[in-house]
Amino acid sequence: MNSQNPPASGGGDSRPTLDVVALGNALVDVLASAEDATLGALDLVKGTMVIVDHQRAESIYAAMGPTTEASGGSAANTAAGVAALGGRVAFLGRVADDQLGRAFTHDIRTVGVAFDPTPAPVGDSSGTGHCLVLVTDDAERTMATHLGVASDFGPVDLHAGHLASAQVVYLEGYLWEQPSAKAAMRQAIDMAHAGDAAVALTVSDPFCVEHHRDEFLQLVNEELEMLFANEEEIMSLFGTDTFDEAVEAVADTGVLAVLTRGAAGSVVVAASGPVVVPAAPVDRVVDTTGAGDLFAAGFLYGITNGLSPEESARLGSVCAAEVISHVGARPLADLRELAVAAGLFS
């Protein structure tokens, strides 16, 4: 069901009650500053994310310095960003009935995201998922994620009411790593299309592309209306040597593609052709955690609230610039005020 037409955002009783429903891993981020030597000693590859078991998570945590905890998870961060802009948004994810699960639920509801889970019982090593985030002096983040019960996300965690009420259903590529979650995501795609919602996928990470390239390409060609990826991910997905070749390849699919390039800005591939959108200025990059998540938040809010794809990408850049100016993956400043200052809303 490919189309480069953005979701309808007209008024009247037929208007969906939610702008976005996001599906992803419900995680609590545990952040600490780190040296490059520490990453090497822990056998972590700088700038990437790796899934770890309970034992390795414990050993990495023991090697970290002072930490800060904050509710996170890629799609959950995006949902929080949409809410911060004033959007109507719900999140679907799996938590345990433990301290971290209660903290995650409280935090995401507090920022205005609808979240109605059925918490899972706590096991010896199956509590709420958490992501150990090591931030180096160059603001690069390296992540080790213990999924806990998030790895059991499945069809039982889908919320039919939310999915039937959305303009856009946004899928986190990380979930594709888990068989039960993959089944749930395919069911969510069917439910979204049955309700005339658009389906968007963020491929999440180069390792996700490497693991699931054929399936992701099948989704792009047959199921998606929107695709989010960075430069490395989109080149890997289409097996191209250059970014320009990847842009041409994704244009042929008919999806509305949003391709981020860090300080070089982004490229929106729409029916009218690719459009380059500059990055929003930022005084100092402190932590790149959540940059792509908040870019997606701005784009999704814009596209479901009357902005063009190019304007939506500009809003995404504003949101990304805010989140990389401080530690943590959730916005601290008023995103709506920043959008008004950028001339995107009155």
Return the CATH number at 199: 3.40.1190.20
Task: Give the pLDDT score at 2.
Answer: 62
Query: Does any domain span residue 165?
Result: yes
The beta strand positions in 205-298, using DSSP E, are: 226-230, 256-260, 266-270, 273-277
Q: Are strands 129-135 and 141-146 parallel, antiparallel or unpaired?
A: antiparallel
HSE-up (13 A, CA, CB side) for residue 309: 24
CA torsion sign for 88, 91, 92, 97 is: negative
Q: Is residue 190 part of a domain?
A: yes
Asked whether residue 32 is domain-assigned, the answer is: no
Q: Note whether residue 211 is domain-resident.
A: yes
Q: How far apart are CA 166 and CA 21, in angstroms?
A: 6
At 10 the pLDDT is 44
Q: Is residue 62 part of a domain?
A: no
Identify the three-state secondary structure at position 112: coil
Distances (CA, A) of 245 to 230, 234, 235: 14, 10, 8
Please choose, from the candidates 58, 5, 83, 4, the residue with its C-alpha nearest in 3D space to the C-alpha of residue 254.
4
Q: Using 50 as the pLDDT threshold, list the residues of the chain that sit under it.
A: 8-13
Give a yes or no: residue 243 inside a domain: yes
Q: Count of domains in the chain?
A: 1
pLDDT of res. 288: 83
**What pLDDT score was predicted for residue 12?**
43
pLDDT on residue 299: 98
pLDDT for position 209: 96
- The pLDDT, as a whole number, for residue 7 is 64
Q: Which two tokens stand for residue 229?
A: 């990826």
Q: Which residues of 297-317 are buried (b: 16+ CB within 10 A; e: fewer)?
A: bbbbbbbbbebebbbbbbbbb
Backbone angles phi, psi at 51, to 5 degrees: -85, 130
Structural domain includes residue 104 = yes
Q: Give a yes or no: residue 106 inside a domain.
A: yes
Residue 78, pLDDT score? 98
Give the domain extent around 268.
Answer: 18-26+73-117+148-341
State the pTM of this model: 0.88
DSSP H helical ranges for 85-205: 99-110, 160-163, 179-194
